[in-house]
Structure 1
Amino acid sequence: MFRILNGTENARYMEIAKQSVQDLVAKARIKDGPVKWTMLSNECDLKVYKGEGHGTTANSDIHCATMETVGHLDEVMRLYRTDTTEQAKEYVQRFSRALVDTITLYTILPRHPDRPNNCIQIKWFVAKSPFDGLVTKRDFCLLESDLEFEVNGKRAWVRAYKSVDLACVPDLRQTLNLIRGYQYDMGHVFIESDRPGYLDMTYLADMDVKGIVPDWANDQAVIQWCRNLSDIDRFLREDRLSGSPFLRPDQLCPLSMRKRCYLCQKRFGPLRKKSNCAKCGEVLCHKCNKVWQVKVNGTTAMVKCCFPCSLKGSSVAIGVGAGPSKGHLVRNANEGEDVITLHSDPASPQWGAESTFDGSASHCTSDDQSNYSESMAGSYYRQVVPPYYSATPPSSSGSSGMHLNHPRYQQPRTPAWSTSSSSQKVPHSPTRNPIILE
């Protein structure tokens, strides 16, 4: 039977939450930590490890995934906010790779203006395996701890999970065919990297899924859950794209003016088709111009934008409020595809002859523009932070007669929506009084 927690129980869960965060941060250290790690999977930027031996108990396995991404801590904390029904629905929709359902049972530590990014709750979760249908779904009763503090002098934010037993959450195997799993230490650690503008993301799973699951199936399930780090990177980019205006169709560079991709400089042909970036308007190939799911006026739309544009436009990076993009939804008439583009009212660029991204030709050696942390992101990020540019008129290059059109970056104009949407910004906890976990 559900009941209100008393003060003693509330204080006990507060101590459990603090210890859970400390244990998670300690176990998540790949080097010089309490766990000896062996690499299980290396997927470009995403690396998945398995701990030697077993986890907290003889029946539990421990896995860890790491990834470095371009971003800021405030962007991640905004991504994980579920204070409103709309935020909760969007969170479940985005992170549905393993999550089926969730219910908040108790709030142990509510958010406070002095600690807006700290929250401790008890929740009930239902999770699925990549082999859903063959492997029974698991449910968990978890203490979820969100805390912002410092790790080795660097700003960090942790979301830690630890299983707790509640009389009001009985075993549901007979009623809902759910096997009750147990998480000893599980969650995410986000720490500001030594490189400005980067985040070190770590996902740790020390749990016993119970039931009868082969080791190979358990490893594959955990690898699938670990891939949510790649999802986080994609969601951060989509949020940045949603936070600034898009070009109108008549402002895009005509496809006929470009014979090579603006980024990779590969020549277009039957197998390398042209498309416009809805942000900068340039012409790119399909591998450099990805489709993103963005929000405009509360409506979900699929938009093609290039890799550099997905890194710019965040409120943290350029110092403006991250409000929703405004415009209208129209079909992309250039290619006849069922892809929605948006238009707003930024200044129209003037298109000239062939242009290249500043400094990009020497860096773009891979067709996959999503794997960037060790190669091109640093140079791109420094160049794409200003959110708008206009192309300079073509100028003569001497006797060769060639005309090159180089982008000229300009300081952003504060959009009209930035003042009205300032309430969407995630508050920054006072760093003068951080929570230091020894």
Structure 2
Amino acid sequence: MRSSRKLERPASFADAKPLQESERLFLETIAADAFEQFLSSAMERSPVWSLLGDFNHVTVYEGPALPSEDRIVPYRGSLSLNGSLDEVRAMLSNLTADQMAFTQEHHNDGMLDMAILHHVLEPSLRDPFRHVVVRWFVLECPKPLYHRDFCVLETQKEWLLPGGRRAWAIAQHSVTLPTCPDLKSNLMVVRGSMYNSGLVFLESDVPGVLNVHSHMEVNLKGAMPSWLYKSILKRHVARIGYIASTIHEFRLAECVQSYFVVMVPLRERTHCTQCLKRFHTLRRKWNCRTCGEVFCYKCTSSFEPKGHKTKRDQRVCSFCAKFIREQSTSSIRKNVFSDLCLHMSPGYQGLSPTYDDESSMPHRQRKLRLSQDDMRRLMKATDSDPCMRSY
């Protein structure tokens, strides 16, 4: 069984025949019906669903087996995350070869490979974010099982809710097409079926916070005990939690690449800026990549900048991590965080109006001090979470 995340696709994928007009209209009709059915299933709140618990900050529910196919047990998950629809759409749309390659390299979770076989419906001026495509992808399964591949009709759409807030969803429904034959002999994968499955993102009453709902009705096919089927589906539903962490990592990378921050020399600090514990041989010093100050290991978190040239992990303090998590990517460039980065950087000492006006002192003797206003803004962003040990 192959374990590579880049599978050798058959040649038919590269030269798939275009759809005829009758086929395209038929798939467009199926996509519209499947999208409405998915929304109805994902947003339904019924007492017959059993709460399984929280996994990776995702609340997972299990529904009753479908009457039409008792091998399919539906699962759904829900969570709230700091993010915008634009960020989610940029991360999950996967409409171009570059986007799919970036997904495979950086923030893919549980998807071994994917490809778009047909573009059924292109966006219009009236509906610029609506896409209907035929997508093939391979879902990872634990050993010794074969991985499962799917050929689905995927619909992406954005719309306005009655209260004026926006929503965006991805709905997937399995289809059978000659351009996507069974690939068990080629790739050692088993063709599964997926119905009324996908993700819904709703803007909440809190600005910058999205409510996320996932719904999966999947037949993994092949011989498999029911307990293993449930374990696999539960794990895949809970994997939507990676969306929140990935958005946060992109925001950190955006901040890291947007500002030049002069790092405070490690020799100038004898105590951690946050916990105030003294540095010694076992408590090493680390610079925060966004503000430049010096912290201990426990008061910083590690992240790998997505899309950044360097592959080395970066360290970010808890203050900056929490602040960036609660901002949108676009506002990071505009809000007070840019001022805080500069004020906390020693390279800004000679220009910052918030330092003590001691023009008679030599530049090398001026001390780094935040103004009271800057300190209040910084503490306001972090005082609600005293632990802040990770992001």
Q: CA RMSD in A?
A: 3.3
Per-residue deviation, 1:203: 1.7
1:60 to 59, 65, 72: 72
Provide the rounded CA distance (Å) in 1 between the counterparts of 2:288 and 2:195: 45
Contact 1:146 1:157 in 2 (8 A): yes
Residue identity (%) = 24
- Report the equivalent of 1:21: 35
Provide the rounded CA distance (Å) in 2 between the counterparts of 1:75 and 1:125: 22
- Residue 138 (1) aligns with residue 148 (2): yes
- Report the equivalent of 2:341: none
Per-residue deviation, 1:268: 5.5
Aligned residues: 340
* Amino acid in structure 1 at the alignment position of 2:287: N
The one-character-per-residue Cα deviations of 1:38-93 (angstroms, maximum 9, x if unpaired) are 12231363211111334762111111111101111111111124344322211122
- Report the equivalent of 1:348: 347
2:159 to 128, 149, 152: 149
Contact 2:157 2:169 in 1 (8 A): yes
- Residue 6 (1) aligns with residue 16 (2): no
The structure with the largest helix share of the pair is 2
Contact 2:134 2:152 in 1 (8 A): yes
Provide the rounded CA distance (Å) in 2 between the counterparts of 1:4 and 1:35: 45
- Report the equivalent of 2:358: none
Report matched runs for 1:191-202 at 5 Å.
191-202=202-213
* Amino acid in structure 2 at the alignment position of 1:305: V
- Report the equivalent of 2:178: 167
* Amino acid in structure 2 at the alignment position of 1:348: G
- Report the equivalent of 1:337: none
Per-residue deviation, 1:288: 4.1
The structure with the largest strand share of the pair is 1
Structure 1 stretches lacking a partner, 5+ long: 321-345, 371-438
Provide the rounded CA distance (Å) in 1 between the counterparts of 2:26 and 2:47: 27
Contact 1:95 1:228 in 2 (8 A): no
Using structure 2 for the length normalisation, give the TM-score: 0.75
Report matched runs for 1:39-188 at 5 Å.
39-43=51-55, 45-54=57-66, 57-129=69-141, 131=142, 133-153=143-163, 154-188=165-199
1:283 to 274, 290, 294: 294
Secondary structure of the residue aligned to 2:185 is helix
Per-residue deviation, 1:214: 2.3
The one-character-per-residue Cα deviations of 1:240-277 (angstroms, maximum 9, x if unpaired) are 22323466674336475363452xx4735677654221
Per-residue deviation, 1:349: 4.6
Provide the rounded CA distance (Å) in 2 between the counterparts of 1:97 and 1:206: 19
Provide the rounded CA distance (Å) in 1 between the counterparts of 2:263 and 2:309: 24
Report matched runs for 1:265-344 at 5 Å.
265=275, 267=277, 273-295=284-306, 300-306=311-317, 307-311=321-325, 314-318=328-332
Contact 1:246 1:279 in 2 (8 A): no
Per-residue deviation, 1:152: 4.1
Contact 2:272 2:279 in 1 (8 A): no
- Report the equivalent of 2:379: 358
Contact 1:241 1:294 in 2 (8 A): yes
Using structure 1 for the length normalisation, give the TM-score: 0.68
Provide the rounded CA distance (Å) in 1 between the counterparts of 2:211 and 2:75: 17
- Residue 239 (1) aligns with residue 280 (2): no
